[in-house]
Amino acid sequence: MNSQVYLDYNATVPALPEVISAVARAMEKCGNASSVHTMGRQVRKLVEDARENLAALVGAKPAQVIFTGGGSEANNMALNCTCREAILVSAIEHVSVLNAIGNTRPVSVDRDGVLDLQALEFALSLTNKPALVSVMLANNETGVIQPVADVARVAKEHGAIVHCDAIQALGKISVDWRELNVDFLSLSAHKIGGPQGVGALIVNENIPLDPFMKGGGQERGRRAGTENVAGIAGFGEAAKSAGATIDFQSEIKVWRNKIENEIKSIAPAAQIFGGSADRLPNTSCISMPCVSSETQLINFDLADIMVSAGSACSSGKVQASHVLTAMGVKEDASRTIRISLGAGNSENDADKFISVWRDMYAKSATSTAA
Protein backbone atom coordinates (compact mmCIF):
# COMPACT_ATOMS: atom_id res chain seq x y z
CA MET A 1 0.00 0.00 0.00
CA ASN A 2 1.35 3.41 -0.99
CA SER A 3 1.79 5.54 2.14
CA GLN A 4 2.79 8.66 0.25
CA VAL A 5 0.56 11.70 0.67
CA TYR A 6 0.51 14.09 -2.27
CA LEU A 7 -0.44 17.64 -1.22
CA ASP A 8 0.99 19.51 -4.20
CA TYR A 9 -1.95 19.61 -6.60
CA ASN A 10 -1.26 23.24 -7.51
CA ALA A 11 2.09 22.12 -8.94
CA THR A 12 0.50 19.42 -11.07
CA VAL A 13 -2.55 17.17 -10.87
CA PRO A 14 -1.97 13.42 -11.35
CA ALA A 15 -3.06 12.41 -14.84
CA LEU A 16 -6.62 11.09 -14.86
CA PRO A 17 -7.06 7.46 -16.04
CA GLU A 18 -9.36 8.57 -18.86
CA VAL A 19 -6.73 11.09 -19.96
CA ILE A 20 -4.02 8.43 -20.08
CA SER A 21 -6.32 6.27 -22.21
CA ALA A 22 -7.12 9.18 -24.55
CA VAL A 23 -3.43 10.00 -25.00
CA ALA A 24 -2.62 6.35 -25.71
CA ARG A 25 -5.41 6.09 -28.30
CA ALA A 26 -4.21 9.27 -30.00
CA MET A 27 -0.64 8.01 -30.14
CA GLU A 28 -1.81 4.86 -31.87
CA LYS A 29 -3.06 6.95 -34.79
CA CYS A 30 -0.67 7.94 -37.56
CA GLY A 31 -1.16 11.22 -39.36
CA ASN A 32 -0.40 14.92 -39.32
CA ALA A 33 -3.36 17.09 -38.35
CA SER A 34 -2.52 19.44 -41.24
CA SER A 35 -2.71 16.67 -43.87
CA VAL A 36 -5.85 16.52 -45.99
CA HIS A 37 -5.91 12.76 -46.51
CA THR A 38 -8.00 10.33 -44.46
CA MET A 39 -5.43 9.68 -41.74
CA GLY A 40 -4.73 13.39 -41.39
CA ARG A 41 -8.44 14.12 -41.04
CA GLN A 42 -8.73 11.45 -38.34
CA VAL A 43 -6.17 13.11 -36.10
CA ARG A 44 -7.53 16.56 -36.99
CA LYS A 45 -10.84 15.43 -35.54
CA LEU A 46 -9.12 14.65 -32.22
CA VAL A 47 -7.76 18.20 -32.12
CA GLU A 48 -11.10 19.79 -32.99
CA ASP A 49 -13.03 17.64 -30.52
CA ALA A 50 -10.63 18.76 -27.79
CA ARG A 51 -11.06 22.37 -28.87
CA GLU A 52 -14.83 22.02 -28.51
CA ASN A 53 -14.52 20.40 -25.07
CA LEU A 54 -12.24 23.13 -23.75
CA ALA A 55 -14.35 25.91 -25.19
CA ALA A 56 -17.46 24.41 -23.59
CA LEU A 57 -15.72 24.24 -20.21
CA VAL A 58 -15.06 28.00 -20.12
CA GLY A 59 -18.04 29.26 -22.10
CA ALA A 60 -16.14 30.29 -25.23
CA LYS A 61 -16.41 29.38 -28.91
CA PRO A 62 -14.11 26.70 -30.33
CA ALA A 63 -12.66 29.19 -32.83
CA GLN A 64 -11.36 31.23 -29.89
CA VAL A 65 -9.15 28.40 -28.59
CA ILE A 66 -5.47 28.45 -29.57
CA PHE A 67 -3.51 25.42 -28.36
CA THR A 68 -0.02 26.13 -27.03
CA GLY A 69 2.92 24.26 -25.53
CA GLY A 70 1.76 25.07 -21.98
CA GLY A 71 0.36 27.75 -19.72
CA SER A 72 3.58 29.76 -19.62
CA GLU A 73 3.61 29.93 -23.41
CA ALA A 74 -0.01 31.10 -23.38
CA ASN A 75 0.91 33.89 -20.96
CA ASN A 76 3.88 34.89 -23.06
CA MET A 77 1.75 34.92 -26.20
CA ALA A 78 -0.83 37.23 -24.64
CA LEU A 79 1.73 39.74 -23.41
CA ASN A 80 4.10 39.69 -26.38
CA CYS A 81 1.78 39.41 -29.35
CA THR A 82 -0.89 42.05 -28.71
CA CYS A 83 1.33 45.03 -29.63
CA ARG A 84 0.58 46.99 -26.45
CA GLU A 85 3.21 49.49 -25.33
CA ALA A 86 2.16 49.59 -21.66
CA ILE A 87 1.80 46.32 -19.75
CA LEU A 88 0.32 46.56 -16.24
CA VAL A 89 0.39 43.40 -14.11
CA SER A 90 -0.47 42.61 -10.52
CA ALA A 91 2.60 42.27 -8.31
CA ILE A 92 1.68 38.67 -7.46
CA GLU A 93 1.51 37.30 -11.00
CA HIS A 94 3.20 34.08 -12.02
CA VAL A 95 6.78 34.59 -13.21
CA SER A 96 5.72 33.68 -16.75
CA VAL A 97 3.76 36.95 -16.73
CA LEU A 98 6.18 39.07 -14.70
CA ASN A 99 9.11 38.04 -16.92
CA ALA A 100 7.27 37.72 -20.22
CA ILE A 101 8.26 41.14 -21.51
CA GLY A 102 10.69 43.79 -20.36
CA ASN A 103 8.38 46.71 -19.65
CA THR A 104 5.80 45.29 -17.24
CA ARG A 105 4.60 47.67 -14.53
CA PRO A 106 3.57 46.01 -11.26
CA VAL A 107 0.36 47.10 -9.54
CA SER A 108 0.20 46.70 -5.77
CA VAL A 109 -1.95 44.29 -3.78
CA ASP A 110 -3.27 44.52 -0.22
CA ARG A 111 -2.10 42.43 2.73
CA ASP A 112 -4.37 39.58 1.68
CA GLY A 113 -2.91 39.60 -1.81
CA VAL A 114 -5.93 41.15 -3.54
CA LEU A 115 -5.26 43.63 -6.33
CA ASP A 116 -5.73 47.27 -5.33
CA LEU A 117 -8.28 48.55 -7.84
CA GLN A 118 -7.57 52.18 -6.94
CA ALA A 119 -3.88 51.64 -7.61
CA LEU A 120 -4.76 50.09 -10.96
CA GLU A 121 -7.02 52.98 -11.88
CA PHE A 122 -4.32 55.47 -10.92
CA ALA A 123 -1.69 53.62 -12.97
CA LEU A 124 -4.01 53.54 -15.98
CA SER A 125 -4.76 57.25 -15.63
CA LEU A 126 -1.03 57.97 -16.03
CA THR A 127 -0.74 55.80 -19.13
CA ASN A 128 -1.03 57.51 -22.48
CA LYS A 129 -0.05 54.48 -24.56
CA PRO A 130 -2.09 51.46 -25.70
CA ALA A 131 -2.23 49.29 -22.57
CA LEU A 132 -2.77 45.69 -21.54
CA VAL A 133 -3.68 44.70 -17.97
CA SER A 134 -2.82 41.18 -16.81
CA VAL A 135 -4.23 39.69 -13.62
CA MET A 136 -4.53 36.06 -12.55
CA LEU A 137 -7.86 34.62 -11.48
CA ALA A 138 -6.38 32.72 -8.53
CA ASN A 139 -2.89 32.87 -7.09
CA ASN A 140 -0.87 29.68 -7.27
CA GLU A 141 0.77 30.15 -3.84
CA THR A 142 -2.00 31.53 -1.63
CA GLY A 143 -5.09 30.56 -3.62
CA VAL A 144 -6.42 34.11 -3.30
CA ILE A 145 -9.05 34.88 -5.95
CA GLN A 146 -8.82 38.20 -7.77
CA PRO A 147 -11.78 40.45 -8.75
CA VAL A 148 -11.11 39.91 -12.43
CA ALA A 149 -14.46 41.19 -13.70
CA ASP A 150 -13.92 44.44 -11.76
CA VAL A 151 -10.37 44.68 -13.11
CA ALA A 152 -11.72 44.24 -16.64
CA ARG A 153 -14.32 46.97 -16.08
CA VAL A 154 -11.74 49.47 -14.82
CA ALA A 155 -9.26 48.59 -17.55
CA LYS A 156 -11.77 48.93 -20.36
CA GLU A 157 -12.95 52.27 -19.02
CA HIS A 158 -9.41 53.42 -19.78
CA GLY A 159 -9.27 51.76 -23.20
CA ALA A 160 -7.01 48.88 -22.11
CA ILE A 161 -7.34 45.23 -23.08
CA VAL A 162 -7.25 42.52 -20.42
CA HIS A 163 -5.45 39.19 -20.04
CA CYS A 164 -6.26 36.72 -17.28
CA ASP A 165 -4.10 33.79 -16.21
CA ALA A 166 -6.78 31.31 -15.12
CA ILE A 167 -4.39 28.36 -15.04
CA GLN A 168 -4.59 27.71 -11.30
CA ALA A 169 -8.33 28.32 -11.06
CA LEU A 170 -9.46 25.92 -13.78
CA GLY A 171 -10.97 22.77 -12.31
CA LYS A 172 -11.22 24.25 -8.82
CA ILE A 173 -13.76 27.03 -9.35
CA SER A 174 -16.00 28.01 -12.24
CA VAL A 175 -14.12 29.81 -15.02
CA ASP A 176 -16.53 31.62 -17.35
CA TRP A 177 -15.13 33.62 -20.26
CA ARG A 178 -18.26 35.76 -20.54
CA GLU A 179 -18.51 36.61 -16.84
CA LEU A 180 -14.84 37.53 -16.58
CA ASN A 181 -15.18 39.84 -19.61
CA VAL A 182 -11.48 39.60 -20.47
CA ASP A 183 -9.84 39.54 -23.89
CA PHE A 184 -7.33 36.72 -23.37
CA LEU A 185 -7.48 33.74 -20.99
CA SER A 186 -4.58 31.35 -20.31
CA LEU A 187 -5.18 27.69 -19.42
CA SER A 188 -3.04 24.60 -18.81
CA ALA A 189 -3.83 20.91 -19.18
CA HIS A 190 -1.78 19.44 -16.35
CA LYS A 191 -3.53 21.57 -13.72
CA ILE A 192 -6.75 19.63 -14.38
CA GLY A 193 -5.33 16.12 -14.73
CA GLY A 194 -4.28 16.44 -18.35
CA PRO A 195 -0.83 15.95 -19.87
CA GLN A 196 2.08 18.24 -19.13
CA GLY A 197 3.36 20.36 -22.00
CA VAL A 198 0.06 21.54 -23.48
CA GLY A 199 -1.98 24.66 -22.78
CA ALA A 200 -4.32 27.09 -24.47
CA LEU A 201 -5.02 30.76 -24.94
CA ILE A 202 -8.65 31.81 -25.34
CA VAL A 203 -8.76 34.94 -27.48
CA ASN A 204 -11.04 37.81 -28.34
CA GLU A 205 -11.27 37.37 -32.10
CA ASN A 206 -11.76 41.13 -32.58
CA ILE A 207 -8.31 41.98 -31.20
CA PRO A 208 -5.30 41.44 -33.47
CA LEU A 209 -2.79 38.88 -32.21
CA ASP A 210 0.56 38.45 -33.92
CA PRO A 211 1.91 34.91 -34.35
CA PHE A 212 3.92 33.80 -31.34
CA MET A 213 5.81 31.19 -33.36
CA LYS A 214 6.27 31.65 -37.09
CA GLY A 215 6.35 28.95 -39.71
CA GLY A 216 3.29 27.02 -40.81
CA GLY A 217 -0.30 28.15 -40.54
CA GLN A 218 -1.33 25.98 -37.59
CA GLU A 219 -3.80 27.30 -35.01
CA ARG A 220 -5.22 29.77 -37.53
CA GLY A 221 -1.79 31.16 -38.22
CA ARG A 222 -1.18 32.19 -34.62
CA ARG A 223 1.04 29.34 -33.37
CA ALA A 224 3.18 27.53 -35.92
CA GLY A 225 4.34 23.96 -35.44
CA THR A 226 2.87 20.49 -35.85
CA GLU A 227 0.13 20.06 -33.27
CA ASN A 228 0.79 17.90 -30.21
CA VAL A 229 -2.20 15.74 -31.06
CA ALA A 230 -1.84 13.29 -28.16
CA GLY A 231 -1.40 16.08 -25.63
CA ILE A 232 -4.30 18.07 -27.03
CA ALA A 233 -6.53 14.98 -27.01
CA GLY A 234 -5.63 14.47 -23.35
CA PHE A 235 -6.42 18.11 -22.60
CA GLY A 236 -9.83 17.72 -24.19
CA GLU A 237 -10.53 14.61 -22.13
CA ALA A 238 -9.48 16.37 -18.93
CA ALA A 239 -11.78 19.28 -19.80
CA LYS A 240 -14.72 16.85 -19.97
CA SER A 241 -13.95 15.66 -16.42
CA ALA A 242 -13.29 19.08 -14.87
CA GLY A 243 -16.88 19.67 -13.81
CA ALA A 244 -16.85 16.64 -11.51
CA THR A 245 -13.59 17.87 -9.99
CA ILE A 246 -15.17 21.23 -9.18
CA ASP A 247 -18.09 19.46 -7.50
CA PHE A 248 -15.63 17.69 -5.17
CA GLN A 249 -14.01 20.93 -4.02
CA SER A 250 -16.51 21.51 -1.20
CA GLU A 251 -15.29 18.36 0.52
CA ILE A 252 -11.68 19.31 -0.10
CA LYS A 253 -12.35 22.68 1.51
CA VAL A 254 -13.50 20.93 4.70
CA TRP A 255 -10.15 19.12 4.93
CA ARG A 256 -8.21 22.29 4.14
CA ASN A 257 -10.05 24.19 6.87
CA LYS A 258 -9.45 21.35 9.33
CA ILE A 259 -5.71 21.59 8.70
CA GLU A 260 -5.71 25.36 9.20
CA ASN A 261 -7.83 25.26 12.36
CA GLU A 262 -5.68 22.52 13.93
CA ILE A 263 -2.46 24.38 13.12
CA LYS A 264 -3.77 27.59 14.65
CA SER A 265 -4.70 25.69 17.80
CA ILE A 266 -1.24 24.10 17.98
CA ALA A 267 0.67 27.31 17.22
CA PRO A 268 -1.35 30.53 17.48
CA ALA A 269 1.59 32.43 15.99
CA ALA A 270 1.36 30.46 12.75
CA GLN A 271 0.12 32.52 9.80
CA ILE A 272 -2.35 31.57 7.07
CA PHE A 273 -1.54 34.01 4.28
CA GLY A 274 -4.55 35.26 2.37
CA GLY A 275 -6.79 33.55 4.92
CA SER A 276 -9.17 36.51 5.17
CA ALA A 277 -9.73 36.69 1.41
CA ASP A 278 -11.79 34.62 -0.97
CA ARG A 279 -9.55 31.66 -1.87
CA LEU A 280 -9.44 28.47 -3.84
CA PRO A 281 -10.95 25.73 -1.65
CA ASN A 282 -7.89 23.49 -1.85
CA THR A 283 -5.00 25.86 -1.10
CA SER A 284 -3.29 26.98 2.09
CA CYS A 285 -0.11 29.01 2.50
CA ILE A 286 1.11 28.41 6.06
CA SER A 287 4.05 29.65 8.10
CA MET A 288 5.59 27.65 10.95
CA PRO A 289 7.20 29.87 13.63
CA CYS A 290 10.99 29.54 13.80
CA VAL A 291 11.24 26.74 11.20
CA SER A 292 12.52 27.49 7.69
CA SER A 293 10.66 26.42 4.58
CA GLU A 294 13.57 24.22 3.56
CA THR A 295 13.60 22.38 6.90
CA GLN A 296 9.87 21.82 6.67
CA LEU A 297 10.11 20.47 3.12
CA ILE A 298 12.83 18.01 4.13
CA ASN A 299 10.92 16.76 7.16
CA PHE A 300 7.65 16.39 5.28
CA ASP A 301 9.44 14.57 2.48
CA LEU A 302 11.00 12.17 4.98
CA ALA A 303 7.48 11.53 6.27
CA ASP A 304 6.31 10.79 2.68
CA ILE A 305 4.24 13.98 2.47
CA MET A 306 4.68 16.04 -0.69
CA VAL A 307 4.29 19.81 -0.24
CA SER A 308 6.03 22.83 -1.74
CA ALA A 309 7.52 26.15 -0.70
CA GLY A 310 5.75 28.08 -3.44
CA SER A 311 5.54 27.89 -7.20
CA ALA A 312 6.86 24.67 -8.72
CA CYS A 313 8.05 26.76 -11.67
CA SER A 314 10.91 27.91 -9.42
CA SER A 315 11.89 24.28 -8.95
CA GLY A 316 15.10 23.54 -7.13
CA LYS A 317 15.04 26.88 -5.38
CA VAL A 318 13.76 27.58 -1.88
CA GLN A 319 13.69 31.34 -1.58
CA ALA A 320 11.47 34.14 -0.34
CA SER A 321 8.29 34.30 -2.38
CA HIS A 322 7.70 37.42 -4.48
CA VAL A 323 3.99 36.89 -3.80
CA LEU A 324 4.42 37.11 -0.03
CA THR A 325 6.84 40.01 -0.41
CA ALA A 326 4.23 41.91 -2.42
CA MET A 327 1.75 41.23 0.41
CA GLY A 328 4.13 42.87 2.89
CA VAL A 329 5.25 39.62 4.54
CA LYS A 330 8.81 39.78 5.87
CA GLU A 331 10.39 37.22 8.22
CA ASP A 332 7.58 34.68 7.88
CA ALA A 333 8.08 34.51 4.11
CA SER A 334 11.08 32.22 4.60
CA ARG A 335 9.10 29.93 6.96
CA THR A 336 6.18 29.24 4.69
CA ILE A 337 4.98 26.20 2.78
CA ARG A 338 2.06 25.67 0.45
CA ILE A 339 -0.30 22.74 0.66
CA SER A 340 -2.77 22.09 -2.13
CA LEU A 341 -5.21 19.21 -1.96
CA GLY A 342 -7.06 17.40 -4.70
CA ALA A 343 -9.45 14.65 -5.63
CA GLY A 344 -6.99 11.91 -4.70
CA ASN A 345 -6.77 13.02 -1.08
CA SER A 346 -8.78 11.99 1.96
CA GLU A 347 -9.34 13.20 5.50
CA ASN A 348 -6.68 10.72 6.60
CA ASP A 349 -4.16 12.63 4.50
CA ALA A 350 -5.10 15.84 6.28
CA ASP A 351 -4.71 14.10 9.64
CA LYS A 352 -1.26 12.78 8.72
CA PHE A 353 -0.14 16.24 7.68
CA ILE A 354 -1.39 17.73 10.96
CA SER A 355 0.42 15.05 12.97
CA VAL A 356 3.76 15.63 11.25
CA TRP A 357 3.35 19.40 11.47
CA ARG A 358 2.60 19.11 15.20
CA ASP A 359 5.65 16.94 15.87
CA MET A 360 7.95 19.20 13.88
CA TYR A 361 6.71 22.30 15.65
CA ALA A 362 7.03 20.65 19.08
CA LYS A 363 10.65 19.70 18.38
CA SER A 364 11.38 23.23 17.22
CA ALA A 365 9.76 24.75 20.30
CA THR A 366 11.76 22.44 22.58
CA SER A 367 14.99 23.28 20.75
CA THR A 368 14.29 27.01 20.95
CA ALA A 369 13.52 26.83 24.66
CA ALA A 370 16.76 24.94 25.32
Q: Are the CB atoms for 4 and 304 separated by under 8 Å?
A: yes
User: Any catalytic annotation for residue 290?
Assistant: no
Q: Are the CB atoms for 200 and 67 separated by under 8 Å?
A: yes
DSSP symbol at 352: H
- In terms of Cα–Cα distance, which of 330, 19, 53 is closest to 190? 19
Q: What is the full DSSP assignment across 114-179?
A: -B-HHHHHHHHHT--S-EEEE--SB-TTT-BBP-HHHHHHHHHHTT-EEEEE-TTTBTTB---HHH
- In terms of Cα–Cα distance, which of 288, 255, 279, 252 is closest to 363? 288
Which residues touch 181 (CB under 8 Å, ≥6 apart)?
149, 152, 153, 156, 162
Which residues touch 233 (CB under 8 Å, ≥6 apart)?
22, 23, 25, 26, 46, 47, 49, 50
Which residue out of 30, 164, 285, 313 is catalytically annotated? 313
Q: Could you give the CA distance from residue 101 to residue 86 in angstroms, rounded to a whole number?
A: 10
β-partners of residue 134 are 89, 163
- Max intra-chain CA distance, the chain: 76
Active-site residue numbers? 313
